[in-house]
Structure 1
Amino acid sequence: MISISIVEDNDFYRELLVSVLEKKHFLKVIGVYSSFEEAMQGLPEDAPDIAIIDIKLKEKSGIALIEAIKLQLTNTQFLMYSGFQNDENIISGLKAGASGYILKGASEEEIQNAIIELYNGGSPMSPYIARKVINLLHQRQTNDTHGLSARELEVLSLLSRGLLYKEISYQLNISANTVKNHCKNIYKRLHVQNKIEAINKFSNYNLQAYAS
């Protein structure tokens, strides 16, 4: 039996969730709340396996609710349930402690499967949300590396260890001229003039990961 609590301030969606979940005998709704304050009082007593949280509540957001209550519910997993598809809400919800994110408009089967997947250790997301998360991660990775390629990161890492072009050439099994070209590209992307400036500008990045 999977115990579930619902926090949703919209009457239609709240009743829909209850109806959809109660169609499966192994899903048991043990608490239903229409506001942030009600949920703050009731969820700790429920201690459900899964809490379905609407991201937009009247008083405060569902994200704020998770942040405020998650330490009291260490065995509860949170599933965001929202009509919002923007990047900020997706990332904020996941950062707050949600382990899944499904959109309002999901089918009965998708909602039921999301509960089962989350209970079994997965991180259910509507396909659109999953694509958003992947794109955001790719974008963040590009920003974190300042657009440098994996090879350029390797070269910069070896430069930071004091190796000369010839030594880098030998270690990476590429020509010294190729190393020089990589360095030119690194300086251009980082908007610096030399290797000292490049290393200093990139000092917050974990270059050691590329030093093998």
Structure 2
Amino acid sequence: MLEKVHGVLPEIGIATAQTAYMLVLTLVVAFIFGGALGIWLYIVRPDSLAPNRSLYLVLDAVVNFVRSFPFLILLISVIPLTRFVVGTAIGTTAVVVPLSISAIPEFARLVEQALLDVRRGVVEAGQAFGASRLQLIRHILLVEARPGLINAFTILSVIYLSATTVAGLVGGGGLGNFAITFGYYRYEPAVMAATVLVIVLWVQVIQMAGNYFVRRTDKRRR
């Protein structure tokens, strides 16, 4: 068993690097665009900083629509867009396109919820002191919501670590492709188990790091 795993260690290393590449790029895109979209959702929702019911309903519907797609269906549906953006629908970079499309509204909803968890009284106090809308967002909302935002990003990281394993179905590489190619097709349960172990370790590290930073930023736990 150990000999079989040892024989594919170089391939495990390559697959792990590919998974890291897909995950990091996806999280960066989701952080930038999903974070901005989540803040926008919070601002324009009814009874918020700049309520706009019509705009909120449109944004809310779009976010829900994209989130409702199972990732595998989305992966196939956006193949033309993927080809347009990166020039190909196959490969590690290509998979980042559907991963990002899926992750942006997912993170946006998590960000919106984290901001909603900020006590209304804190926001009202900032408004009473004459803080502008931008100041309220930068210096009050985002600061007070840090534990929730970090927790949201941790959840997103774990979800899309799992999603990267689907990349193997379209030749995207990564641990999912490795498990299929070297484990499933070759009937090697030991290799499959080793792959699962690597993914489990990733999840544990991500979750532990997230919990650590949540504790560091949560005023209620000090």
TM-score by length of 2: 0.25
Q: Which has the higher contact order (CA 8 A, sep 6+)?
A: 2
Task: Give TM-score, length-normalised by structure 1.
Answer: 0.26
**Greater Cα radius of gyration, structure 1 or 2:** 1
By percentage of residues, which structure has more strand?
A: 1
